[in-house]
Amino acid sequence: MVTICLGLEGTAHSFGAGVVSSDGKVMSNVWDMIRPQKGGIHPREAARHHSEKGPTIIRHALEEAGVTAQDIQLVAFSRGPGLGPCLRTTATMARVLALHLSVPLVGVNHCVAHIEIGCLESGFQDPVTVYVSGGNTQVIAFAGGRFRTFGETLDIAIGNMLDVFGRSAGMRFPAGPEIEREAQLGREYHALPYSVKGMDLSYSGMLTAARRLLSGGVPLPDVCFSIQETAFGMLAEIAERAIAHTKKRELLLTGGVARNSRLTEILSGVAVRHDVRFHRVSPSLAGDQGAMIAWTGILQYLAGNTVDVAESQVLPRWRTDEQEIRWRAM
């Protein structure tokens, strides 16, 4: 029998609802994002956005999937990691729905969901994953029953670095797409700190140096080009080492920054050199959205891992490797 799951995602600036069936069909995936006019996102404002827009987004997701609320057999929500107020607002909606519909509730790890939706789309069994977004920069692989972080940023995430640089260059949030367009016009490479420490990397020095280049009169396209080449080169180096170390045969690129074509090109080159398969999660599934929560919710539910409403408190600091991944442990 096929199980239909409604997944709610609301860890940060986006709220999403997706409907996915246990045979792996994404039936709908609707989301909306708060875009501050200036400055970063304020957790409470994002949470207010989620509570205001959430019900409509959920209704649209059901309509698009061609189902009614009564067809939903499982409710999954992003339990962490993320911003407390956003997580709590989303969890409340999920709990109410699960209680109202008398269906099980599943609390999903957001980072794990970025990996699992990529595996669904690609058919990959056991990849090295490069997970890059506004809040995370990690190279992850499954080992000993958990998703282990092989390398990660020691300070700010790559997407955050791009967004903060973009803000100082007068770009709107999120700045990643505009930086990518500018970089395509860049001609001259200017050195920026290339900071790989063991398997970890750091982007804060690059942010400071890039801002200095810009205020020193280097044309914006050249700065963007230099940022991309340096930042993505660093990721390629640790991805390459993770492949060599784990001997895995698949390389997956996921998270919002996976929308970048130049990063895709660089990592697919790594895959060719190591003779491993490569997949970049398609743009509609790369960023934060509900389908990834719904799909991971199904995997988790089928492995017997649901949560009682009374014990479903959110986990803002939930690390990727804290969760025992029962559906892969065999």
**Which residues bind to ligand ATP, rule: CB under 6 A?**
11-13, 110, 133-136, 159, 162-163, 174-177, 180, 255-257, 259-260, 287-288
The DSSP secondary-structure symbol of 171 reads P
Nearer Cβ to Fe ion, position 229 or 288?
288
CB of 240 to ligand ATP, least distance (A): 20
Question: CB atoms < 10 A from the CB of 191, how many?
Answer: 9
159 binds, among Fe ion, ligand ATP, none (CB under 5 to 8 A by kind): ligand ATP
Q: Which two tokens stand for residue 217?
A: 């009169």
Give Cβ neighbours of residue 142 (< 8 Å, ≥ 6 apart). 126, 148, 325, 328
Q: Using CB under 5 A as the criterion, what x/- string covers residues 218-257 for binding Fe ion?
A: ----------------------------------------
The reply on whether position 32 binds Fe ion by CB under 5 A is no
* Three-class SS state of 281: coil
174 binds, among ligand ATP, Fe ion, none (CB under 5 to 8 A by kind): ligand ATP
Nearer Cβ to ligand ATP, position 4 or 281?
281
CB of 67 to ligand ATP, least distance (A): 25
Cβ burial of 94 (10 Å; 0-12, 13-18, 19+) is buried
Angle at 273 between CA 271 and CA 276, to 5 degrees: 40
127 binds, among Fe ion, ligand ATP, none (CB under 5 to 8 A by kind): none
Nearer Cβ to ligand ATP, position 21 or 136?
136
Distance CA 59, CA 64 (A): 9
Report the candidate in 147, 118, 131 with the shortest Cα–Cα distance to residue 255.
131
Nearer Cβ to ligand ATP, position 7 or 176?
176
Question: CB atoms < 10 A from the CB of 109, how many?
Answer: 25
Distance CA 196, CA 284 (A): 30
The reply on whether position 289 binds Fe ion by CB under 5 A is no
Nearer Cβ to ligand ATP, position 162 or 299?
162
Give Cβ neighbours of residue 134 (< 8 Å, ≥ 6 apart). 12, 13, 157, 159, 160, 163, 174, 256, 257
Cβ burial of 87 (10 Å; 0-12, 13-18, 19+) is buried
Nearer Cβ to ligand ATP, position 186 or 255?
255
The enclosing H or E element of 120 equals helix 110-122
CB of 317 to ligand ATP, least distance (A): 13
CB of 112 to ligand ATP, least distance (A): 11
Nearer Cβ to Fe ion, position 160 or 202?
160
176 binds, among Fe ion, ligand ATP, none (CB under 5 to 8 A by kind): ligand ATP
Distance CA 281, CA 18 (A): 16
12 binds, among ligand ATP, Fe ion, none (CB under 5 to 8 A by kind): ligand ATP
Report the candidate in 130, 108, 133 with the shortest Cα–Cα distance to residue 118.
130
Among 14, 78, 133, 289, binds Fe ion (CB under 5 A): 133
CB of 82 to ligand ATP, least distance (A): 6
Distance CA 330, CA 325 (A): 10
Binding site for Fe ion (CB under 5 A): 133, 288
